[in-house]
Amino acid sequence: MKKLTLIIAILAIVSAGFANAVEWHTANEKTIAWDAVTTLIDGNPIPANHTLKYRIYLANAITDPDKTNAALLVETDQLSYSIVLNTEGKYFAGVQAVRYDENNVEVSISGINWSDINGEYTPNPFGIQHFIPTEMPKNLR
């Protein structure tokens, strides 16, 4: 009975690890996309005279896994953005909604939805990794 309980516990831990696993995409450029924000956190619609923009962040998965020093890449009114990586490494992308009033004054910001957090807002966690290509072999004979 102890062995069966131990096996079930190990399988539960392993399957939980796979459920939260981050899928790594190797590329020097990756387009991310998200759904438009249409409501406030209380469920009410965003006022008609207010506008929304989105801030795109990038955090180094190795040196900043807690995302405390994430870099703000851009603010856009689009629902997608192409991230270009020039530095080798592993990264998580983040998106934040920013609301502006009729005078274009920032009035509120949302939390950041990070690409590696499995849940309602990111059902398929992912990261972006970039590796600088090696030089081609020389003196091919």
Q: What is the pLDDT of residue 3?
A: 54
Q: Confirm whether 139 is domain-assigned.
A: no
Q: State the residue range of the domain holding 67.
A: 23-130
Provide CB contacts within 8 A for 50, sequence distance 6+: 99, 100, 101, 102, 107
Kindly report the backbone phi and psi dihedral angles of residue 69, in degrees, each rounded to the nearest multiple of 5, phi listed first: -125, 40
- Residue with the two structure tokens 């309602």: 120
Q: Percent of the chain beyond pLDDT 70?
A: 86
- pLDDT per residue over 111-136, tens digit each? 999 999 988 777 899 999 999 999 99
> What does the block give as tokens for 104?
């274009």
- pLDDT per residue over 49-81, tens digit each? 999 999 999 999 999 999 999 999 999 999 999
Which residues are 97's β-sheet partners? 54
Helix (H) or strand (E) holding 6: helix 2-19
Q: Confirm whether 101 is domain-assigned.
A: yes
Is the distance from CB of 68 to CB of 61 less than 8 angstroms? no
CATH number, domain at 102?
2.60.40.10
